[in-house]
Amino acid sequence: MEAYTSHDIIEIDGEVVTALGDGDTATITYSNDIMAMKTGKNGNTVAAHNEMGREADLVIRVVKGSYDDKRLNSKVISWKSRSNDFEPIRGTFTKVIRTDTGITNEVTTLKFGIPVKVVETKENVEGDTEQCFSQYTIRFGDSNRALA
């Protein structure tokens, strides 16, 4: 089987993010397992759902000063200032995968997102292009992955 990907779509609060950088522009990771298991005497085993396994971290890199940077930064400022207007972030990441049998969309829906960190910045006089990007980390309380 052969596969390639192109034309991925990242949406934050219903708007497509267009000012993406180079390299890894968006990554979704999961730091918790979706279950816990213990095995005891005589091989007796119990398992339980771990609701913390629903949490997902989205790291997204956008061009500094872009519309997307300003929009995401306003969410960070709103959260930090404990604004009554703050609304949790919603996200959708659609990865378009083409295989020899057709097209499959991997759609990850992210709900109840809160900014985790403030954007870091730096100056580099040797031409380091990383200084041109803002990296946001957003933790979501729930995520679902579907293949369509």
Q: Is residue 108 part of a domain?
A: yes
Helix (H) or strand (E) holding 97: strand 89-99
Residue 117 resides in a domain: yes
Name, in order, each residue with C-beta under 8 angstroms of 75's C-beta and a sequence gap of 6 or more: 86, 89, 115
Cα separation, 30 vs 143, whole angstroms: 10
Q: Is 16 helix (H, G, I), strand (E, B) or coil?
A: strand
Look at residue 74 and tell me if it is in a domain: yes
Range of the domain at 111: 3-32+53-147
User: Which residues lie closer than 8 Å to 129 by C-beta, 6 or more apart?
Assistant: 22
For tokens 């020899």, what's the residue? 100
30-54 residue pLDDT tens: 999 999 999 999 999 999 999 999 9
Query: If you average pLDDT over every residue of the chain, what do you get?
Result: 94
Residue 6 has pLDDT above 80, yes or no: no
CA distance 118 to 121: 10
Place of tokens 């091989």: 43
Question: For residue 44, is it within any domain?
Answer: no
73 DSSP β-pair partners: none
Residue 23 lies in a domain: yes
> What's the CATH number where 84 sits?
2.30.110
> What is the pLDDT confidence band of residue 100, given thresholds at 50, 70 and 90?
confident
Residue 17 lies inside a defined structural domain of this protein: yes
In a domain, 67, yes or no: yes
3 touches 97 (CB < 8 A): yes
Q: Is residue 45 part of a domain?
A: no
Query: Which pLDDT value is given to residue 41?
Result: 96
Block residue for tokens 């816990």: 36
| Amino acid letter, 34 | I
Dist. CA 14–CA 96, nearest whole Å? 18
pLDDT at position 2 over 80: no
Per the structure, the count of domains in the chain is 1
